Structure formats: C-alpha cells, structure tokens
Structure 1
Amino acid sequence: MADIILTPRLKLHRIATLESGSTDLAHAHIIRSSPEATIWSISGVSKSLEHTQKVMGQIATVPDAAVARNDVPNLRVTYLVYARVEGESDEQARESRDPERVIGICSLNDLKVYGMPFGEHLRIVPKEIAAREKVLMLEAGWQLLPTVWGKGYCPEAVTAMLSSYHESTSRWNPPYQRVCFVAVVGEMNPRSQKVASKVGFTRLGIHEWEGEDTFLGGAMQPPRVIVFGLDPESSAAEKEVKGK
C-alpha cells in the first residue's frame, strides 16, 4: 500500500504514527478540531490532542508488519489529505508537510457498527461469488475542512485511496480474493451522498436497527443510514463491456 498517493491536485499521506509530538498527530488534529469537518462524526469534535489521538487510534493505519496476522483491523488505512501547490513537482509534493495545506482525512476501516450485519437487500457481491471467494469489506470514510467544500477534492481523494488499495493486492490477498468498499451516510447528509455517487458507489438502500437517536449533523438522528457499495471488480467488468 502506497505511503504517498499523488493526484493532479492532492497528496494523500498515509498516517504512520500517532505519537505525541508527531507531525501526523498535529495535522490530524487540524481536521479533528474543526466543528464543521466533524459534524457527522460519531466521536464529535476533538477539543484536545489527546482526544484526537484516541479517536484516530481507532482507525489509524497499522504498520504493514502486522498485516501478517490477516485480521481486518490490520488491513485498514488512514490518509491525511493535502492540497498541492500549483506548479510544484511530484518530488516537491512528496516532501512537503505544510500544515497550511492539510485539508482532510480519508480512511478505510472495518465494518463494526451500525447494527451489523446488513440485510440481504444491501448485498454488494452476489451470493454465488461470495460463496466461492473470501470477500474483504471495508468502510470508506472522509472528513474535509469547510474551506475546500464544493471543489471536488473529496471524491478525488477517496477515488485515489480506493484505487490504490484495490491495486495493492499483496496487502489483502491472501487470505481474501476480493475487496469491496462500503460508505455509510446519514439521510440528512447530502454532501457525503454526493461524494459517494461521484466516487462511483451505488446506493444499495436503507439500513435500520434498534437503538437510540444520535446527535449528528447538528440534530438528533434516528438509527437509520443510507448504505452505498462499490465492487471494483464488477465496476471494471462493466467498463470493459461498455468499451467494446
């Protein structure tokens, strides 16, 4: 899995440590301390570095050496997103860690909340494929500062992350033969719904479960979310067919 992913406008820098005093932690806190960027985070806004450290520790990248254990938590990744400076070279972009350029966080994490498991109507991979292939399911998440909303940075960053992960087959195969991605979005969160659609996710439907309302997006939200799914293998096959 790439430590740095470059797009024409962005640099994604994979978080390697959350130790006190680290650049990764300081830059993650810039995003986590923004009320607007974290308005849909179940962990809320971080008012201290310690809280950012705790929250990010639940999703942060585990070193590749630990991947040998082949459990899902060790297959997750988290990136800091930076806006590139116009005219800079790829080499300059790789070296830069300017705190003024950090604009967001995007991650792939294991599905372990939201009243799992999902119902059959939310299936991404057909039963016949799931029966013969071990499928890794990861949840894509993103948070961007409000100063860059509406510029297309979020779908650009998430698309780059998903593509890199899917292509890094040695990270997850074995034991998995296929990797699919899920995005779980609040019904009252149109911005993230739009991001999911632009990335190429398919809206699968509504997932509901028994539970208490949660304060998200500035209001109490019921235990009900929209589930989006993306199977890169199916998407690639569809593109190939359309191209013929």
Structure 2
Amino acid sequence: MASTNPTPKSKCENAAPTFQTARLTFTPLAQTDAAPLHELRSAPEVMKWSRQGRPDASVTETQKWVDSYLAEAESNITQQESIVSKPDPRKDVVFAVREVAHVESGAKHDRIVAQAGIKKGKSEVTGVERFEIGYMFVPTVWGKGYASEAVKGMAQWWLSLYPEEGKGGDTEGVYAIVAKTNPASLRVLEKCGFHFVAEGVDDHGDEIVEFCMNNE
C-alpha cells in the first residue's frame, strides 16, 4: 500500500518523494535526472515497448527528452492555472523511481530503476479521454515484483486524490494500455486488480488491450 512517509534524503539533488511503497520511492522527474535515467532509456528491451520504440542514443538525447517533458508539463500547469482558480492535482506526472534500499544506503552514485507516471490523453482503444498509467523498469530489476508494486502504488495514490470518483463505470478511474504481445505487463495489471475494458489496434497496427482500476 502506498505511504506518504518521507524517505530519508539521499545525496542526489531530488526533493522528498511524492510517495513511497515498501521498496520504492516516487519523485517527480527533475532536470538532474537525465544521467541516472539513461540506463533505462538506453535499454533496447525496455524501449521497444515505449511510444518512441527505440533506445536513446546518448545521455544528451535523454536530457533533451527530460527537458521537453518538463517544459510541456510547466506549460500545461500555467494554462490550467489561468483557466481555473483551483487546479486539478491530477495533472500529468512522470516519476523517477528509486529503490528505498539504495537511497537509504547513502550510495555516492544516484540510480533510477524506473520511469513511471500517469498522463491524460485519448485512448487508442476506445477513443475516450482518460488518465493512463504507464511504467518501464531497468532489466536488472525485472523479476523482483517491482512492476506490480509500482502500478498498485501509483493507482492507489492517484485514486486517493479524489476518493469519491472512479466509482461510476468504465469511463472513470485510472487506465492502462499494453501490447497483447507483452504477457508480463498483462499479468501485472491483472494481479493489481485492473479489469479488462476493450481490445484494439494502435497506430502501428499492433494489437493492444485496455484495462481499468476504479475506486470500489
């Protein structure tokens, strides 16, 4: 279950995480995260499942991606604040995910084991605009159960922002879309309590499956 208990500060430049689970900390992506994030974004077996579809060629490319994301996020926040007096806290967010044990060890080198987040957009399956959860982990931590822990933690964190929402049917709650050829991610979503919504084909012609988790 997600916890709001702060994680002891590490030697990296990041502030305390938004939340943490038993073994992982979740901190909003920062400009200084590019170098430790490159281990993940340069792995072909990871990036083949991403929308980019290929690994970053260099730390410079990873930095450009981080800068682009942060600039877009800042722009979205500014636009929202100009429209409403009370911005919706469920804004798009990308987390840099670290192992609690690594942070607490005081290691001299920073290490990010996953990129995870929630983003609002139009579903490729149903065409409905909704918040979609996504994640990628470095191959060296696969098999530890981190993906299930991260997905469950993020879903609980997001749904806790508005506990009365996500109770009315398939158009509410938090969603996830995965390739039908990615059985590991399919198992993670089912294990975390997501239920099947629909199947479809993405822009590349690949079969995809959509799942949802509601407040129940």
Q: 1:168: which partner in 2?
A: 161
Match of 1:34 among 39, 43, 46: 43
Task: Name the CA shift for 1:138/1:207 in 2 (closer, same or farther; >3 Å).
Answer: same
Please give the root-mean-square deviation of Cα atoms over the aligned residues, in Å.
3.5
Mark the CA change 1:84 to 1:204 in structure 2 (over 3 Å): closer, same or farther. same
Matched, 1:108 2:118: yes
Structure 2 length as normaliser, TM-score? 0.71
In structure 2, the CA distance between the partners of 1:141 and 1:206, relative to structure 1 (3 Å rule), is same
1:1-150 aligned within 5 A: 3-15=17-29, 17-18=30-31, 22=32, 24-43=33-52, 44-56=54-66, 62=73, 66=78, 67-68=80-81, 69=83, 75-85=91-101, 92=104, 98-100=109-111, 102-112=112-122, 114=124, 117=127, 137-150=130-143
Amino acid at match of 1:7: T
Amino acid aligned to 2:24: L
Q: Quick one: distance in 1 between partners of 2:61 and 2:161?
A: 31
TM-score, normalised by the number of residues in structure 1: 0.64
Query: Contact 1:106–1:141 at 8 Å: present in 2 too?
Result: yes
CA–CA distance in structure 2, aligned partners of residues 182 and 58 of structure 1: 24
Deviations 1:62-85 (A, max 9, x none): 35964534699x811111111221
**Larger Rg belongs to:** 1
1:51 shift after superposition:
2.8
**Alignment: residue pair count:** 188
Q: Is the 8 A contact 1:166 1:179 kept in 2?
A: no
Which deviates more, 60-69 or 178-187?
60-69
Opposite residue 77 of structure 1, the aligned amino acid is V
Which runs of 5 or more structure 1 residues have no equivalent in the other structure?
119-135, 173-177, 215-221, 237-244
Residue 113 of structure 1 and its aligned partner are, at CA, apart by 6.1
CA contact (8 A) 1:59 1:107 kept: no
> Structure 1 residues 111 and 54, CA, compared in 2 at 3 Å: closer, same or farther?
farther
Q: Are the counterparts in 1 of residues 198 and 211 from structure 2 also a CA contact under 8 Å?
A: yes
Residues 1:152 and 2:145 are matched in the alignment: yes
Change in Cα spacing, 1:113 to 1:155, as seen in structure 2 (3 Å) is: same
For the Cα contact (< 8 Å) 1:10–1:84, is it kept in 2? yes
Amino acid at match of 1:25: A
Q: Which residue of 2 aligns with 1:175?
A: none
**Ranges in structure 2 where 5+ consecutive residues have no aligned partner:** 5-16, 166-170
